[in-house]
Amino acid sequence: MVLIALASLLTSLIQAPAPTPRCQPWPGCALDAPALAAAAGVADTERQELFEYSDAYSTRLTIHRIASWATLPLFVAQVVTGEALLRDRTSPPRWAKSTHKPIAFGLAGLFVVNTVTGGLNALEMRHDPNADSRATIHTLLMLVADAGFVFTGLTVKSAGTVGPLGRIRTKHRKAALISMGFATIGYAIMLPPFRKD
């Protein structure tokens, strides 16, 4: 009886399927991805297609990231100086008056850089069959922020002036804060907690 049980156990071990091969070390084994998938029993339709990005994509991405991190402190500085200018419109602090406009130009320059680098990378990424919708949402949010900042610049002359009903015109401030909000959400969704890679 014991011999029959042992024989049955040995037979089942011999007939057990081979373990699925592991893809180590990465990325060298990616070249043999079809063979690995076939060994694992994965259908062709379930496999991710390999897509190679250009060196220019990587360079643009590095520039894009650096410009993005430089933008966030400038947002804070622009809000601080703008609020100081609105609080005391008759005699605004010299530091706020002398820095608000240069910071605005700095932000405009960074947004131009990010729009160009991000736009070119988005065009290249659209050919990647594995790309997710997060990058598309990021692009749309940043384009809305771009449009908002253009509008913000167009309203600068009326900023802090008195309207017909005696109210202070704050269209410039509102447009700037809303645009910063869209941009910040766009930045946030590209941070590691929201990334799949």
Average pLDDT over residues 25-49: 52
Considering the domain architecture, whether residues 62 and 44 belong to the same structural domain is answered as no
59 with 155, same domain: the answer is yes
Residue 155 and residue 175 in contact, taking contact as beta carbons nearer than 8 Å:
yes
**Is 73 found in the same domain as 45?**
no
Please check whether residues 29 and 90 belong to one and the same domain: no
User: Looking at the structure, do residues 43 and 132 belong to the same domain, yes or no?
Assistant: no
Q: How do residues 44-101 score in pLDDT, each as one tens digit?
A: 445 566 778 888 999 999 999 999 999 999 999 999 999 999 888 888 899 999 999 9
pTM for this structure? 0.68
- By residue range, what is the domain housing residue 149? 55-194
Tell me, yes or no, whether 87 and 143 share the same domain.
yes
Taking every pair of Cα atoms in the chain, the longest distance, rounded to a whole number of angstroms, is: 103
The domain tally of the chain equals 2
